[in-house]
Amino acid sequence: MSTFFCSSKLNYTFSNEDGNVDRELLPMHASHVLIVAGSGSRLCHFLEKKPKKMTLIDISREQLWLCDLRLELIRFASYTEYLAFWGIGDTVFTPKERKDIFEKLGIQEEAKKFLRKVFEENSWESILYTGQWEKTFAKSAKWVRRVLGNQCINTLLGFTNINQQLTYLKNGFPRSRWNLLLRAFSSATFFSSAMYGKEFPKMNVSENYFEFFKDAFERSFRLCPVRENFFLQIVLLGKVAHSEALPPEFRPQVFDAAKRALKECEIALVQSELVPWAAQFPNEFDVIYCSDVPSYFKGPLARQWLVSLRPSLKNNGKLIARYYRNVPGPADAGGYLNLNHLYRDLYSKEQTQVYYFDVLQKVETTHG
Ligand SMILES: C[S@@+](CC[C@H](N)C(=O)[O-])C[C@H]1O[C@@H](n2cnc3c(N)ncnc32)[C@H](O)[C@@H]1O
């Protein structure tokens, strides 16, 4: 089992995947969806699709505990309180208000004990950016500011129009300083030492780390103004400062729909490895949402995971995966219809531009 993902700490608290893409990929009214829990930031936009049952799986119990907190908040809090609890917007909770709400939530006891400690260590301020991933970016954002300068960052955040941004990128952006930053941050050692240790996936999508990140950021900067892009704000500022860029869970329609759907949805939280756990349930899931977990598979699991997960899907059920720097397994495992051609446009708008996607549909074969 991975030591990085089971570190007894929260590794992810905000969102490092573009929820706008996942939101389009999940079908309405599924009877049972299995999703990798992570930070729980995708809970709202998955609940919005009104599944009858949702199982959240993670090898990290701390991540599941954070999901428990998010679920209880969706159940208990109003939209305004939800924002205030996470420290978003103009009316954020004081530490005392946050503590009072937290103590009222029906979170299971072990989770409550752990989360109480996390809040205490943060003086009951919001814990939205306290995961290891978020802290790493908060640290690197300080370097980004030092090297690019305040003026450059403020200019980038000021554009409301993509054409103005493109002109600046061409004529005013300090490109050689940006490349210097990319060289430092894209080196395998930076994120290895900061986060993943030796478990950082070996890249197989490009020969060169610097080129991979240079191209990804180039595409990302061309998509939309920085003030609408959550990932570029995380990179430049260490947090999302403009509400246009907030992930779907912080939008009123998404939150309200999730709150209504949660009343009807059966939820299960499971601490386990994704593939062996799912394999116990034949023909069970309409959707298995893998996040980028497969990128971390090694050895036989990396070759077999598609074959192993297929029996757990219902016929026509979908397996949704994203990959970060490492696409494992055979491109065609057999018994799946590749639906990527339907989503090319959607993938191209993904804000981080560092992920590859697969949407695969189980099809019956003559041998089952
Ligand atoms: C792979 S990480 C990547 C972060 C992800 N992009 C997110 O938004 O949370 C997602 C989650 O998968 C969990 N995880 C990693 N390997 C797993 C496995 N083999 N089975 C189940 N969960 C796993 C991690 O603990 C983490 O919470």
Q: What is the mean pLDDT of the chain?
A: 93
Residue found under tokens 């240079």: 214
Question: Residue 171: is its pLDDT beyond 60?
Answer: yes
The CA dihedral of 25, 162, 211, 148, to the nearest 10 degrees, is -120
CA distances from 268 to 37, 52, 55 (A): 11, 11, 5
Give the integer Cα–Cα distance in Å for 134 and 240: 11
Q: Looking at the 3D structure of the chain, how many domains does it have?
A: 1
Strands (E), the chain: 32-36, 53-58, 266-271, 285-289, 313-324, 336-338, 355-362
Q: What is the pLDDT of residues 289-320, one digit of tens each?
A: 999 999 989 888 998 999 999 999 999 999 99
Q: Sorting pLDDT into bands at 50, 70 and 90, what band is 133? A: very high
As a whole number, mean pLDDT of residues 15-40 equals 95
Q: Sorting pLDDT into bands at 50, 70 and 90, what band is 5? A: confident
Bridge partners of 288? 34, 319
Question: Residue 112 in 3-state DSSP?
Answer: helix
Q: Sorting pLDDT into bands at 50, 70 and 90, what band is 327? A: confident
Give the integer Cα–Cα distance in Å for 23 and 350: 12
Give the integer Cα–Cα distance in Å for 86 and 14: 10
Give the integer Cα–Cα distance in Å for 11 and 292: 14
As a whole number, mean pLDDT of residues 197-225 equals 84
Q: Which atom of ligand 1 is nearest to the CA of 297?
A: 19
Give the integer Cα–Cα distance in Å for 101 and 28: 32
As a whole number, mean pLDDT of residues 219-240 equals 97
Which residue has its alpha carbon closest to ligand 1 atom 9?
A: 38
Question: Residue 219: is its pLDDT beyond 90?
Answer: yes
Q: Sorting pLDDT into bands at 50, 70 and 90, what band is 282? A: very high
State the first-to-last Cα distance of the chain, in angstroms, to the nearest integer. Answer: 31
Please indicate, yes or no, if residue 286 is contained in any of the structural domains. Answer: no
Question: Residue 365: is its pLDDT beyond 90?
Answer: no
Q: Sorting pLDDT into bands at 50, 70 and 90, what band is 142? A: very high
Question: Residue 331: is its pLDDT beyond 70?
Answer: no
Helix, strand, coil % in the chain, rounded to nearest 5 = 50, 10, 35
User: What is the reported pLDDT for 134?
Assistant: 96
Give the integer Cα–Cα distance in Å for 317 and 299: 26
Q: Which atom of ligand 1 is nearest to the CA of 6?
A: 25
Bridge partners of 270? 57
Give the integer Cα–Cα distance in Å for 213 and 179: 10
Please indicate, yes or no, if residue 112 is contained in any of the structural domains. Answer: no
- CA angle (355 as vertex; 190, 339 as ends), nearest 5: 160
Q: Which residues line ligand 1 (CB under 6 A)?
A: 2, 5, 11-12, 15-17, 36-39, 57-60, 63, 273-274, 291-293, 296
Question: Residue 196: is its pLDDT beyond 70?
Answer: no
Q: Do the Cβ atoms of 80 and 91 come closer than 8 Å?
A: yes
User: What is the reported pLDDT for 209?
Assistant: 84
156-190 b/e (C-beta count within 10 Å ≥ 16 → b): bbebeeeeebeebbeeebeeeebeebbeebbeeeb
Which distant-in-sequence residues (6+ apart) come within 8 Å of 168 by Cβ? 155, 156, 159
Question: Residue 333: is its pLDDT beyond 80?
Answer: no
- Taking the CA atoms of the chain, what radius of gyration do you get in angstroms? 20
Q: Do the Cβ atoms of 300 and 349 come closer than 8 Å?
A: no
Distance 7 CA to ligand 1 centre (A): 12
Give the integer Cα–Cα distance in Å for 186 and 325: 12
Please indicate, yes or no, if residue 52 is contained in any of the structural domains. Answer: no
Q: Which domain holds residue 190?
A: 140-245
As a whole number, mean pLDDT of residues 320-346 equals 88
Which residue has its alpha carbon closest to ligand 1 atom 15?
A: 293
Please indicate, yes or no, if residue 227 is contained in any of the structural domains. Answer: yes
Q: Sorting pLDDT into bands at 50, 70 and 90, what band is 41? A: very high
Q: Which atom of ligand 1 is nearest to the CA of 58?
A: 22
Which distant-in-sequence residues (6+ apart) come within 8 Å of 366 by Cβ? none
Q: Sorting pLDDT into bands at 50, 70 and 90, what band is 270? A: very high
Distance 58 CA to ligand 1 centre (A): 6
Max Cα-Cα span within the chain: 63
Question: Residue 132: is its pLDDT beyond 90?
Answer: yes
As a whole number, mean pLDDT of residues 171-183 equals 95
Question: Residue 201: is its pLDDT beyond 60?
Answer: yes
User: What is the reported pLDDT for 312?
Assistant: 98
Higher per-residue confidence, 199 vs 26? 26
Q: How many CB atoms lie within 10 A of CB 289?
A: 23
Please indicate, yes or no, if residue 183 is contained in any of the structural domains. Answer: yes
Q: What is the pLDDT of residues 50-64, one digit of tens each?
A: 999 999 999 999 999
Which residue has its alpha carbon closest to ligand 1 atom 13?
A: 58
Please indicate, yes or no, if residue 132 is contained in any of the structural domains. Answer: no
Sign for the pseudo-dihedral over CA of 159, 163, 166, 170: negative
Its pTM surpasses 0.75: yes
Please indicate, yes or no, if residue 190 is contained in any of the structural domains. Answer: yes
Q: Sorting pLDDT into bands at 50, 70 and 90, what band is 205? A: confident
Please indicate, yes or no, if residue 219 is contained in any of the structural domains. Answer: yes
User: What is the reported pLDDT for 368?
Assistant: 52
Distance 245 CA to ligand 1 centre (A): 23
Question: Residue 241: is its pLDDT beyond 60?
Answer: yes
Question: Residue 195: is its pLDDT beyond 90?
Answer: no
